[in-house]
Chains A and B, each alone.
Chain A
Amino acid sequence: MLCLAGYEISKSYIDSDQSIHVLTDANLELNEGEMVAITGQSGCGKSTLLHILGLLDKPDKGRILIGGREVHAGMAEAAMIRNQELGFVFQFHYLVEDLTAKENVALPAIIAGVSIGKAQKQASELLERLGLSQRLNRYPNQLSGGEQQRVSLARALINKPKIVLADEPTGNLDPDHSEEVWQMIINLNKQFGQAFVIVTHDHESARLASSTYNLAKGYLSLCP
Chain B
Amino acid sequence: MNNLERFYLGRYLQAPKRNLLRFSFVFMILGIVLSVGILSAGLNLFQGYESSLREVLLGSFPHIAIQDADSDYISMEDAEKLISTLKSNDKVEMVTPTVTYSVMAANDTRVRGVSLNAYYFDAHNPFPYAKYVKEGSSQLADGEIIVGKYLAKELGKKCGDTLKIVYPQLDKISAMGLFPSERLYKIAGIYSSGFYESDRSQIICTINDAVSLLNITPSYAKLELRLKPGAIDDATHIAEQLQQQLGLSYLLYPWTTFSAGLLRLVTMEKWLIFIIFSFLVLISGINVISAVTTIIFDKRNEIAVLRTLGSSNASIKRLLALQVGLTGIAAIISGQLFGALLSFLVEKQSWYHLKGDVYFIDSLQATISPLNQMVVFLVSALLISGCIWYPLKQIDKMQIIELLRNS
Contact = CB atoms under 8 A, between A and B. Distances in A.
Contact of B3 (A83, A94, A111): A111
Contact of A94 (B4, B18, B311, B407): B407
B325 to A, nearest CB: 17
A99 interface: yes
A108 B310 CA distance: 7
Nearest to B15: A98
Nearest to B402: A57
Contacts of A119: 3
A223 interface: no
A116 interface: yes
B4 A111 contact: yes
A96 B305 contact: yes
B3 A113 contact: yes
Contact of A82 (B2, B310, B404): B310
B125 interface: no
Given A94-B407, A114-B3, A79 B302 contact: no
A82 B308 CA distance: 7
A98 B310 contact: no
B212 interface: no
B257 interface: no
Interface stretch (B5-13, B241-249, B347-355): B5-13
A103 B14 CA distance: 14
Interface string B15-56: 000110000000000000000000000000000000000000
A94 B309 CA distance: 11
Contacts of A103: 7, 11
B11 A110 contact: no
Given A56-B400, A56-B404, A116-B7, A111 B18 contact: no
B358 interface: no
Select the residue from B309, B311, B404 with max chain A CB neighbours within 10 A. Answer: B309
A96 B302 contact: yes
B329 interface: no
Nearest to A84: B310
A92 interface: yes
Interface in B117-162: none
B305 A94 contact: yes
A51 interface: yes
Contact of A79 (B3, B18, B304, B307): B307
A95 B407 CA distance: 12
Contact of A98 (B18, B304, B306, B404): B18
Interface string B384-407: 000000000000000011001001
Contacts of A113: 2-3
B107 interface: no
Interface in B226-248: none
A115 interface: yes
B407 A92 contact: yes
B306 A116 contact: no
B312 interface: yes
Given A57-B401, A92-B407, A116-B10, A82 B309 contact: yes
A213 interface: no
A78 to B, nearest CB: 9
B293 interface: no
Interface in A39-86: 51, 54, 56-57, 79-84
Contact of A111 (B11, B304, B311, B401): B311
A99 to B, nearest CB: 7
A107 interface: yes
Given A116-B3, A116-B6, A116-B10, A51 B401 contact: yes
B306 to A, nearest CB: 7
A79 B312 contact: yes
Contacts of B2: 113
A62 B310 CA distance: 23
B306 A90 contact: no
Contacts of B3: 110-111, 113-116, 119
B301 interface: yes
A98 B17 CA distance: 12
Contacts of A94: 301, 304-305, 308, 404, 407
A20 interface: no
A88 interface: yes
A92 B406 CA distance: 12
A82 B304 CA distance: 13
A51 B308 CA distance: 10
Interface of B: 2-4, 6-7, 10-11, 18-19, 301-302, 304-312, 315, 400-401, 404, 407
Interface of A: 51, 54, 56-57, 79-84, 88, 90, 92, 94-99, 103, 106-108, 110-116, 119, 155
23 contacts: A56-B401, A82-B310, A84-B310, A88-B308, A90-B404, A94-B301, A94-B308, A96-B305, A97-B302, A98-B11, A98-B19, A98-B302, A106-B7, A110-B3, A110-B7, A111-B3, A111-B309, A111-B310, A112-B310, A113-B2, A113-B3, A116-B7, A155-B309
